[in-house]
Structure 1
Amino acid sequence: MPDTRNTIIRLLQNIGSRKEVDQYLKQFSSVDSKRFAVIKVGGGILIDELETLASSLSFLHRVGLYPIVIHGAGPQLNAALDEAGIETERIEGMRVTPPAALEIARKVFQSETLRLVDALEQMGTHARPITNGVIEAELLDYDRLGLVGEITEIHTEAIESSIRSGCLPILGCLGETPSGQIVNINADVAARELALAIEPFKIVFLTPTGGLLNQHGQLIDSINLAEDYDFLMQQDWVHSGMRLKLQEIKQLLDQLPHSSSVSITTPGQLARELFTHRGSGTLVRRGEEVVCHSSAENLDQARLRELLEACFDRKLLDNYFSAKPFYRIYLTESYRATAVLTLEDGIPYLDKFGVTQKAQGEGLGQSLWLRMKQENPRLFWRARTENPINSWYFQESEGTYRSGPWTVFWYGMSDFDEIKQCIDIALNMPATLYAHGVSEN
């Protein structure tokens, strides 16, 4: 296993830096094995991307991680019911399940569970099908819905036994009553209740789209619910399934530890989403509110100094907070991400942008940046040419100019004279950090 683990870690470095990979492996390995992740797989994924899914799950297993996988089988069940001549009826989004339909559903779910287990085993990954003993339920409304269950309890013993034996637990979403009657359970509801019982570090929804999309059809890479939820729910383009999904995710995360998060991605991008800061899907966290301050007077300057010095790995000048007035200071509640702005000839200048490593993985920096950009329609800043986040700065800016050790960035400006003025200001800005190896004394 150590040789295999090291090989996989080296492969992971193809999608992210060693620093990122090590950081996430350390985070994931620090939690109890069963609390790493709950992964919900749609039935369509099992039809179209079974091999890719099995490969991604095997990848996790080989670095010692044990996600709990729960799958649906909606398209497969629809096809089987059609073939049997049984009409599918839905009431308030729930599938009406008479006994004849449940008999078919049981066979379909068992078959799909075994297909995934077989695919994993063929790749050398031990997996265990768990078809009962986990989801306890009671009949919701037999007269209206038939054999549809409402979950009353989640039993984790079979899951824990599977993980202790070195096997990935694979669950369908059928439940059973205390008397042993099998009942149909909505897959999203089953995944939610399983997550509430397990309290995992990650909840992952694998979908064909690979995440939530904005009004332009582009992937939203991260959502900080504390900062973004109300704004998103006011947008005309957030409707129907996306609106419902956001509401469900918020309700779920509100009941879980603050460290829990939801990722929406594709099977093929699962490792990138889990092991890199930028990810490859939509990461949703409860997050933190970003507060804008007009000065540093009422801030904990010692904490802010500590944050900036940790991010830049250099000491701030002693008089940093008193040398000149600040225009705006954006700061997350936990003092883990900040943007410090001054006003230079009437134009906002980004003097410092700092985000801790962990906060980068949580999307706090992106959330803070979006807030800053909304409230500052034009901005300029500089960064050393070797700055590791310059690639991101290039994406976020509308223009750049390189001179010596500095690259100047800006957005929201088109007047040549104004841009030239900003470049001159940025290049002549006095240092606010001590050089490496130079004592602040």
Structure 2
Amino acid sequence: MKAGQDRIRNLVINSFRAVGAENEARFYIKVFRSRRPHRFAVILLDPRLTHLELEMFAIQLAFLSELGLTPIVLHEGVLNRGGRRRKDGVDALHETLVASWNLKGIPVVSFLEEDERDSRPNLSGIRRATRSGQVPLVPISTSGTGTPKRKESVRSEFLKWIVAELKPFKVLYVTPEAGLVTREGRILSNVNLRLDPPLALQKELSRVSALLFGEILSLLEVAPPPLVVQVTGAEGFLEELFTQRGKGTLVKRGAEIVRHEDFSTLSRGRFSSMLGRAFGVPLRRIYHSRSFNRRYPIRSIFLERGYRGGAVVRSAGEWEYLDKFAVLPAARGEGLARDLWRTLLEYHDKFFWRSRASNPVNQWYYREADGMMRRGGWFYWWRGIPPSEMARLLPILDDIPDTLAQKDSPKGKKGRGS
């Protein structure tokens, strides 16, 4: 089994290598596999998906299954008004999905209940299925419930219930629109409810997306943190899961980021511990030394209120230097890095930084930076600074001392760290 998972993992990674996202894919596969199986993700298939879209989704679901990732898949069922199952409704769709997935080697477990008196599945059975590497397929019965608005309410309440009970890390809506779409036809990439006013945003969305966004807001109001919701299409499903850029819309509550001017208003010990856990190595003593802080005085410290991530901006001569940018492993995949970055840009629009060539976040940095230069085993980045100034910045970057207890330093820069 492990050999098969390694083979599929390499296939997935190679496919992302073609678009420059190999390190991101490795990173997210590791993050997702570290969680309890039933808490990985709940996926809701839109009833408007075509047969071709369902086939594309199934192919990508087979990849996830081979990787040892077992999402819980929900689809809307069809009942007649008497509450009995119609063979041309939920049973037909459900049986079609089961047959298709079995042909693709997906170890699916059907939760199509025979007892209509209880339309909610056995949660213990779902947990057992995911622990054994099986994918639960669960119908939501919405027909016979009246108006379309009532159907949406039934689906919403079912989803709230299963999220409250299983506490998944992600909820993914797989829809024909492949994201939340504005009236102009643009797919939103990221929605931060702390920074983006929901009512104003809802008015900008198409009718279908506005209705779905309302359902997402209702879910996030009652769901336990740190749940994030993603809206994507069948074709871009894996890209939405395994890359920073994604291919759809990420909706989240948004982290509370607080700016500090120095360490006097926060716990230096907790902050240092967070950095050490995020980087996998402790800080060197020099980081809090007087000499280092006189040479590179702090301009801003950005900290998530729960100490799950943070960033440090210092002065380096006449320039500003992004000294640290880190998120705890347990918080990765929530979009916390984007929240930190967005807050940082409100205060600093011209700065430089560096990262190791092996850093999985480099693909994201590449999209956020104005320029990049590779120097030995390092990437040097800048934003808001003219490229012509980099000749003056290189000696500064080269001279910044190592503040992390790295086991291995990039070639050509022995003793230097980020």
| Shorter-chain TM band | 0.7 to 0.9
2:357–2:378 CA contact under 8 A, matched in 1: yes
The 5-angstrom pairing of residues 19-418 of structure 1 reads 19-27=27-35, 30-31=36-37, 33=38, 35-72=39-76, 107-132=88-113, 154-156=120-122, 160=126, 163=129, 168-174=135-141, 183=145, 185-186=151-152, 188-189=155-156, 190-212=158-180, 220-225=188-193, 227-230=194-197, 233=200, 237-238=204-205, 240-275=207-242, 279-312=246-279, 313=281, 315-318=283-286, 320=288, 322=290, 323-324=293-294, 325-344=297-316, 347-384=319-356, 387-401=359-373, 407-414=379-386, 416=388
- Segments of 5+ residues of structure 1 without an aligned counterpart are 78-96, 138-152, 177-181
Q: In the alignment, is the contact (CA less than 8 A) between 1:132 and 1:175 conserved in 2? A: no
**CA distance in structure 2 between the aligned counterparts of 1:154 and 1:326, rounded to whole angstroms:** 54
User: How much does 1:364 deviate?
Assistant: 0.9
Residues 362-419 of structure 1, C-alpha deviations (whole Å, 9 max, x = no match): 2211221122123323223344556554343232121345556655432224595xx3
Could you say if the C-alpha distance between residues 426 and 345 of structure 1 is closer, same or farther in structure 2, counting changes exceeding 3 Å?
Answer: closer
Q: Is the 8 A contact 1:385 1:406 kept in 2?
A: yes
CA contact (8 A) 1:132 1:174 kept: no
Does 1:5 find its partner at 2:5?
A: yes
Whole-angstrom CA distance in 1 between matches of 2:96 and 2:128: 18
Cα gap change, 1:375/1:135 in structure 2, threshold over 3 Å: closer, same or farther? farther
Summarize deviations over 1:46-70 as a string: whole Å, max 9, x none: 4331221222333333444443322
**Could you say what the CA RMSD is over the residues aligned between the two structures, in angstroms?**
4.1
Aligned to 1:145: none
**Which residues of structure 2 form unaligned runs of 5+?**
17-21, 408-414
Give the drift of 1:2. Answer: 4.1
Equivalent-residue separation in structure 1 for 2:336 and 2:109 (angstroms): 37
Does the 8 Å CA contact 2:76/2:141 hold for their aligned counterparts?
no
1:115 maps to amino acid: T
**Separation in 1 of the partners of 2:115 and 2:40?**
18
**How far apart, in 1, do the equivalents of 2:357 and 2:2 lie?**
38
Aligned partners of 1:132, 1:307: CA distance in 2, in Å?
46
Distance 2:142 2:207 in 1: 28
Letter in 2 for 1:367: D
Instruction: Give me the whole-angstrom Cα distance separating, in 2, the residues matched to 1:355 and 1:345.
Output: 27
In the superposition, relative to structure 1, how do residues 200 and 234 fare at CA in structure 2: closer, same or farther (>3 Å)? closer
Worse-matched range after superposition: 419-428 or 327-336: 419-428
State which drifts further: 17-26 or 326-335: 17-26
Distance 1:407 1:287 in 2: 29
Question: What is the TM-score with the length of structure 1 in the denominator?
Answer: 0.71
User: Take 1:294 and 1:135, find their aligned partners in 2: how far apart are those partners?
Assistant: 60
Distance 1:294 1:214, change over 3 A: farther
Relative distance call for 1:215 and 1:365 in structure 2 (3 A) is farther
Instruction: Tell me the TM-score normalised to structure 2 length.
Output: 0.74
AA at the equivalent of 2:33 = L
Question: Counterparts of 2:351 and 2:13 in 1: how far apart (Å)?
Answer: 34
Query: For 2:286, what is the secondary structure of its paired residue?
Result: coil
Question: Contact 2:299/2:315 (CA < 8 Å) preserved in 1?
Answer: yes
8 Å CA contact 1:154–1:193 kept in 2: the answer is no
CA, structure 1 residues 116+354, in 2 after alignment: closer, same or farther (shift >3 Å)?
Answer: same
Q: Distance in 1 between matches of 2:198 and 2:350?
A: 21
Q: 1:215 to 1:403 in 2, by over 3 A?
A: farther
Contact 1:347 1:379 in 2 (8 A): yes
1:340 deviation in Å?
0.9
Q: Number of residues paired by the alignment? A: 388
CA distance in 1, matches of 2:3, 2:354: 44
Q: Using a 3 Å threshold, how does the CA distance of structure 1 residues 232 and 344 change in structure 2: closer, same or farther? A: farther
Q: Tell me, yes or no, if the aligned pair for 1:295 and 1:326 is still in contact at 8 Å.
A: yes
Q: Structure 1: how far apart are the matches of 2:102 and 2:11?
A: 21
* Counterparts of 1:390 and 1:360, CA distance in 2: 15
Distance 1:278 1:393 in 2: 11
Paired residue type of 2:102: E
Give the match's secondary structure for 1:111. helix
Q: Deviations over 1:204-262 (max 9, x none)?
A: 2112333335799665555454x434389469745644444344323313322324332
> What secondary structure sits across from 1:44 in the alignment?
coil
Structure showing greater Rg: 1
* Identity score, percent: 27
